[in-house]
Chains A and B, each alone.
Chain A
Amino acid sequence: MVVSEPSDARVDGLFHALADATRRDILRRSARGTLSVSRLAEAYPMSFAAVQKHVAVLERAGLVTKERHGREQLVRTDPDAVDGARQALDELELAWRGRVDRMSDVLAHDAGAGDDTPTRGRGR
């Protein structure tokens, strides 16, 4: 994950949010796919309201977003859309830079190891 320089307050919020085993579990579950708060509540020996509070802490820390869908409240991890595009393109860039480097290597290797072309020495 690419994380921009976080402020102290944001870091405090993150650590507070992650300092609880239930909240870490909620985060893990919602990272696998969108889940409703009521489905989450079934997974823990606590009230719906208590689960809702845990979700609110995660939401304030920016780790999940909540969205109303009919009568259900859906929870999901949500990287910011623009950061998402930047991250996806950064990954694409890394992949293609690596490929271009390897293409150069293949060309250089073949030029050095193939028939002795006088214009390209072995010791490049």
Chain B
Amino acid sequence: MSVTSIDKDLDGLSLTLVADFDAPMERVWQLWADPRQLERWWGPPSHPATVEQHDLTPDGDVTYFMTGPEGDRSRGWWRVTSVDPPSSLEFTDGFADQDGTPLEDMPATTVRMRLTEQDGSTRMELRSAFESREQMQQLLDMGMTEGLQQAVGQMDALLGG
């Protein structure tokens, strides 16, 4: 069993997800706390993640890159704002440049994760939120620009324009 519920708050620009895992809490915590395990689920299969720095302490940094099908790398970072092993973790997740330096003007999301255990299974409650409407829009525009360029390019081809 995995995702139990998902709530989206359009005004708060946030997503709240509840998932139940058939594993003890300490085991689920390791998915976050062990960089080699984190790599196995953070990126989609098309863009697997490689975790470099991994410091889950207050103000600690996690740095990673995701490798795309063309071998292209996009870099990201977490800044840990609060951590209480093995039950809770809060961090900001953002973009970095090719050297791994955080791009402060690029959109970031905040993630709050909490684990509770009952009868040997673990509930994960996770809230992921955009920091501001501007940042959310920026993220969309980046994706949309790409999608739109592609669509218009196809139209040009179709219409001989």
Encoded as 1 (CB less than 8 Å from any A CB) or 0, chain B from 42 to 54 comes to 1010000000000
Query: In B123-161, which residues have CB < 8 Å from any A CB?
Result: 124, 126, 128, 130, 133, 136-137, 139-141, 143-145, 147-149, 151-152, 155-156, 159, 161
Least Cβ distance of A106 to chain B in Å?
Answer: 5
Complexed CA–CA distance, A12 and B126 (Å): 43
Name the segment of A36-44, A45-53, A67-75, A86-94 touching the other chain: A86-94
State the majority secondary structure of interface residues on B: mixed
Out of A90, A99, A106, which one reaches B37, CB within 8 Å? A106
Known A24-B161, A96-B126, A107-B31; contact A31-B145, beta-carbon cutoff 8 A? yes
Complexed CA–CA distance, A120 and B140 (Å): 42
Instruction: Number of B interface residues at 8 Å Cβ cutoff, please give it.
Output: 46
Most buried by B among A20, A88, A101, A106: A88
Q: Is the CB of A103 within 8 A of B136?
A: no
Complexed CA–CA distance, A99 and B37 (Å): 12
**B19 CB within 8 Å of chain A:** yes
**How many contacts A-B (CB < 8 Å)?**
107
Closest residue on chain A to residue B109 by CB atoms? A92
Known A89-B10, A99-B42; contact A27-B21, beta-carbon cutoff 8 A? no
Q: Is the CB of B144 within 8 A of A86?
A: no
Instruction: Number of A interface residues at 8 Å Cβ cutoff, please give it.
Output: 39
Q: Is the CB of B2 within 8 A of A21?
A: no
Residues of B close to A107: CB separation below 8 A: 21-23, 27-28, 31
**B15 CB within 8 Å of chain A:** yes
Q: Is the CB of B10 within 8 A of A91?
A: no
Q: Is the CB of B139 within 8 A of A88?
A: yes
Q: Is the CB of A79 within 8 A of B144?
A: yes
Encoded as 1 (CB less than 8 Å from any B CB) or 0, chain A from 59 to 85 comes to 000000000000000000101011011
**A9 CB within 8 Å of chain B:** no
Residues of B close to A100: CB separation below 8 A: 2-3, 17, 19, 124
Complexed CA–CA distance, A95 and B141 (Å): 17
Residues of A close to B40: CB separation below 8 A: 102, 106
Residues of chain B having any CB pair with chain A under 8 Å: 1-3, 6, 8-10, 13-15, 17, 19, 21-23, 27-28, 31, 37, 40-42, 44, 109, 124, 126, 128, 130, 133, 136-137, 139-141, 143-145, 147-149, 151-152, 155-156, 159, 161
- Between A and B, 16 residue pairs with Cβ closer than 8 Å are A19-B159, A28-B149, A28-B152, A84-B136, A85-B10, A87-B140, A88-B13, A89-B9, A96-B17, A97-B6, A100-B17, A103-B2, A106-B37, A107-B22, A107-B28, A111-B23
